[in-house]
Amino acid sequence: MTKTLYYPSKEISIPRGKPVSYGDNIKTLSCLLNASYMSYDGITGMFNHLTSNTIEISKATVLSWNECLSNNLNPQMENIKVKLLNSLVLNVDKSPIKIDGEQYYIHTVGNGHYTLQYVTKHRSKDDIDAFGFLSEYKGIIVHDHYSLYYNYGSDNAECNVHILRYLNGVSEFTEHNWAKALKELLLEMKTRKEGLIELKKEKIDTSEFSAFQERYLNILKNGKQERITDLKTNAYKNEELNLLNRLIKYEHNHLLFLNKFIVPFSNNRAEADLRKVKIKQKIGKFRSVTGADTYAIIRSCASTYSKNNINLFNAFKNAFNNNPVII
C-alpha cells in the first residue's frame, strides 16, 4: 500500500515499511529552521505532526543534513574570511555556549555585509589565535572592552552604547552631574558626526574634534572631584571609579568614532549577529563540538546571505546541490 503526500510543490509517494528518500526541499527547510528557530526535537516533531507521522525524520537524520550543508558551504565560508580580512572595520564579540554541559564560547566577527562565527573551548588568546583570523586582520576592531582584543588589528574602538548604560547606572545610584553631562556630550558627538556625513563631509575638522575632546576630559576631571565628595555614603563609589578610570585611559578608543567616520558609535552589529545564537541556547543545547562547529558555519552563511538580501531557502538548496552561492 502506498500513501501519497503533497509537500513543498512536490508529490512524494511513500511505500509502507520501506526507506524514504527525502528531497532537497525537506532537507533545506530542516536546516533553515535549525539555523534560526528550532531544535532538532522541534524539527522532527513538526514534520511528524504535519504529516500525521507519515514522514518520521530522526534527529540523527537532521544532524547529517546539517553536516552535509556545512561541508557544502565551505567555499562561501572561505570567501567570507577573505572579504572580512579586507574590511576596514570589524565588529567582534563572543558569547558563552554549553556543549554537552560544558562551557565553550562562540565568537562573531562581522560588518554590514559579512558574518564569521566560530567556536572555541576558552576565550583565550591561544584559542583565538588557533582559529587564525584575528591574528591576520590589519584594520580597526570595534568591541565591548574585552581587553584581549587589543592584541589585534591596527586600532581598537570601544562601544559607546555600553558606556551610556553605565552612565545611567551612575545617575541612578548617585546625584553626580558628570555622568549626565558625559552622556549628553557623547550623544552630541554622535549627532554632529551624522550631520557632517549628511553634508558629505569625510572627517571632522581637527580643531572641532579637539574642542570635543577637551570637553570630554574636563567632564571626567569634574567626575573625579564629584566622586570624592560623598565617599562615605556612595554605595556605587567603586564602580564609579572604575568607569572614570576606564574612560580616561581609553579616551582615544571611545572617541575614535568621531575622529574616523568609518568607525561606528556602538558594537550593536556584533550583538545583532549573536542574537540567533542566544535564542538557539534557549531552545536546544549543543551535544558535541562538531555540532556546534556545524551550526557556526551555517549561521555565518545564513547571516551573510540575509545581510545581502539573498533568499536563504534558495541559497541553502543550491548548497545541497553542490552549487553554493558565493558573495
DSSP 243: H
User: In one letter, which amino acid is 211?
Assistant: A
Task: For 148-169, write each residue's pLDDT tens digit.
Answer: 999 999 999 999 999 999 999 9
Question: What's the rounded Cα separation, in Å, for the pair 105 and 296?
Answer: 11
Give the torsion through C-alpha atoms of 69, 73, 74, 76, to 10 deg. Answer: -170
Per-residue model confidence (pLDDT) at position 14:
43
Q: Are 94 and 231 members of one domain?
A: no
Q: How many domains does the chain have?
A: 2
- Identify whether 28 is part of a domain: no
Q: Does residue 325 belong to any structural domain of this protein?
A: no
pTM of the model: 0.88
Half-sphere exposure (Cβ direction) of 95: Cα atoms closer than 13 Å: 18
Query: What's the pLDDT at 55?
Result: 73
In a domain, 219, yes or no: yes
Of 230, 259, 288, the position where a domain reaches its end is 259
State residue 285's pLDDT score. Answer: 74
Grid cell, residue 166, equals: 553605565
146 & 280 share domain: yes
My answer on whether 215 and 292 are in the same domain is no
Burial 174-184 (b: 16+ CB within 10 A, else e): bebebbebbbe
Whether residues 205 and 290 share a domain: the answer is: no
The pLDDT value recorded for residue 284 is: 66
Q: Which residues of the chain have pLDDT under 50?
A: 1-19
Encode burial over 134-152: b for 16+ CB neighbours within 10 A, e otherwise.
beebebbbbbbbeeebeeb
In a domain, 246, yes or no: yes
Identify whether residues 178 and 235 lie together within a single domain: yes
Q: Is there a single domain that holds both residue 143 and residue 290?
A: yes
Query: Does residue 171 sit in the same domain as residue 239?
Result: yes
For residue 7, the one-letter residue type is Y
What pLDDT was estimated at residue 206? Answer: 97
Are 30 and 7 in contact by the 8 Å Cβ rule? The answer is no
Please tell me whether residues 150 and 173 are part of one structural domain: no
H or E element, residue 164:
helix 160-173
Asked if 66 and 34 touch (Cβ cutoff 8 Å), the reply is: yes
Eight-class DSSP state of 17: T
Q: Does residue 5 fall inside a structural domain?
A: no
Do 102 and 249 fall within a single domain? no
Note whether residue 102 is domain-resident.
yes
Look at residues 201, 226, 259 and tell me which one is the last residue of a structural domain.
259
Residue 35 forms part of a structural domain: no
CA distance 115 to 110: 4
Please check whether residues 210 and 138 belong to one and the same domain: no
Rounded to an integer, what is the distance from CA 194 to the centroid of its chain? 24
- Answer yes or no: are the C-beta atoms of 121 and 127 closer than 8 Å: yes
Nearest Cα residue to 147 out of 299, 253, 53, 72: 253
Residue ranges making up the domain that contains 129:
87-157+268-306
Q: What's the pLDDT score for residue 246? A: 98
152 and 290 fall within a common domain: yes
233/221 same-domain check: yes
| Rounded distance between C-alpha atoms, residue 203 and residue 262, angstroms | 9
34 within domain boundaries: no
